[in-house]
A and B are shown apart, each in its own frame.
Chain A
Amino acid sequence: MNSHLPIPAVVAAIRPLAVDTSLLTLHTEPGHPVASSFLPGQFLQLSLPGVGEIPLSYCGVPSRDGSIELCIRHVGHVTTPLKSAAPGDAVGVRGPFGHGFPLSAYAGQDLLLIAGGLGIAPLRSLLLTLLKQRELWGRLTLLYGARETGALMFLDELLEFQRRGVIELQLTVDRPGYCINGPPECRVALLPALLEQLALEPGRTCAAICGPPVVYPLLVSRLRLLGVADDRIHLSLERRMKCGVGLCGHCAVGTRLCCVDGPVFSFAELAGIEGALV
């Protein structure tokens, strides 16, 4: 495998998840590691020919048939034209890159997944992975916040998991938005507020967080107040990985490189590093 060379992939399906976000399903060479062997929290590089390449977290689970699920918010140079992507369109993929969530350390633990906005993408990947072997873990709780009800994604799927009793789900939105029939029991509050009334056993809880950088400091300080140790808090950091393989220098966090040392770091690794959480 040459990690510098994107392999061909085609758009298999694209469906809207929210007003500015789509679920892009790609199809590439079956059995290629970019589709078949990654950990939740790792990322791939998606190329749109003639436009550019961007890092994206995996949003689904590894597949044998070469399919890859990605959550695309159409705000950037590459993601904006992807809005008009259609099945059959040619793209390129390379990966997987970086370090994902530490699944081996999660065995037997209660897991607290905290997703803000688009941060649901890697956490959905983590959740689906955890649910494949539900018996290996203790409590599974997902706290999920978005700008407004219309921006909450994968709701049907998440509510179904909740109905089946395999996860505990708490939802919140910054503002009610225009969706009158919001999901049941959705609060109107900022994401860290969900931690206020949460009962957890800090000694057996691991937190996995992905969201906009602005919520990280508050989430971390709340978790610490609840007694969760720094090495039990894992965060996925967003940086602009241009090469993905530790060469281009764009994604450094302190002296660590997000693309090879991350993008998932434990808070113990990040504490005291300037600019890590801001």
Chain B
Amino acid sequence: MATLFIAQHNLEAMLERLRRKAEVHGPVRGEDGVVRFAELIHGILPDLSAIRTLLPPKKYLLHPRETILKYTSEAGYQLPSESVPPLILFGLHPCDLAGINYLDRIFLGEDPDPLYAARRSALTLIGVSCTPDEFCSCHLYPSPLKALSDLFLNSVKGGFAISSGSPRGEELLEVLKDIVEERDINVPEDTRRFFGHAVSAQVRPELDATLPEWQELADACLGCGACSLCCPTCSCFDVLEFGGLDGRSAVRVRQWDNCLFKCHAEVAGGMSFRKNRAERFRYRYRHKYRGFGPLQGIPACVGCGRCRVVCPAGLDLRPLAARLEEITP
């Protein structure tokens, strides 16, 4: 079948052309060994062998801490005027693409979040195929989430089969046309991932609070928050307001939050609706595998494996999910 192909040795030339359009970020292994999405400046190639970055690409859409409103006594509350330059994310794995698809469904729903919407529309997504490791479970959970990208690079012998998934992708192909050629190659269909498959409509029974696993998880959890901070779809945030010293100005910020933290379910006066950690684990489980609100029934786990990899106690929700969601690998 005739497919567009870009040779491995043309990767640098491709990045060079992309950089003429916008700043390009991709997975880069730092001197400390940590793989992060960072700017791919001239001479730096993305680390396409890395299975996962420490933080997912959500950091580009929802900053760990960001100003969402500014206040002055003269002008009242105002949305921050942030200029959002275009950005190309290169080397996104299908799980991270599905993660962005999930965040889009939350933040670009009926009532789009202004900051998210601005940043999202400035973002061009270039995906790349990968080989899951033992922590990945992208092939386990049927999910309606889609690994949508503007361009997708499927690894084949000597380079990548390249396909466009949007008008923006078509535009980029135009820029790349001198290094892209048409070839007759067989692109293996990525059958391992369930993204795009329908979930069963079957309503799951309520979670059984008496299962011993909840308490076992709670007892072993340090409460450090790494699992959700590093999760591509965890997007709970706390909202804080800081008054200026002048007494007339203020900023309101939102900051990544975690459902395992003490204050997550507290209301005024200090009463909490989830006092113990076992209850919070059920909450986390419910969110990850069954979804909230408008996304009820849509699992939020894209199987990237980050929560398991970063947990200092090595906690893993997968065995429980396999049982409770009756997932057969």
Contacts and interface: CB of A to CB of B under 8 A. Distances in A.
B11 interface: no
A4 B76 contact: no
Interface stretch (A124-132, A193-201, A239-247): A239-247
Interface stretch (A48-56, A141-149, A153-161, A163-171): A48-56
Contacts of A250: 236, 238, 257, 264-265
Contact of B243 (A4, A49, A76): A49
B286 to A, nearest CB: 6
Contacts of B282: 274
Contacts of B236: 248-250
Which of A3, A8, A73, A274: most chain B Cβ within 10 A?
A: A274
Interface in B82-119: 106-107, 109, 111, 113-114
Contacts of A188: none
Contact of B286 (A2, A246, A254): A254
Nearest to A246: B293
A181 interface: no
Which of B109, B209, B242, B268: most chain A Cβ within 10 A?
A: B268
A150 interface: no
Give the contact-size bracket for chain A: 35 or more
B79 interface: yes
Contact of B114 (A2, A54, A252): A2
Interface in B107-136: 107, 109, 111, 113-114
Interface of A: 2-8, 47, 49-54, 73, 75-77, 79, 90, 92, 213, 238-240, 242-243, 245-250, 252, 254-257, 260-261, 272-275, 278
Nearest 5 pairs of A and B residues by beta carbon:
A50-B243, A249-B236, A76-B268, A257-B293, A50-B250
Interface of B: 68-69, 71, 73, 76-79, 106-107, 109, 111, 113-114, 206-207, 209, 235-244, 247, 249-250, 252, 254, 257, 259, 264-269, 271, 273-274, 279, 282-283, 286-287, 290-294, 296-297
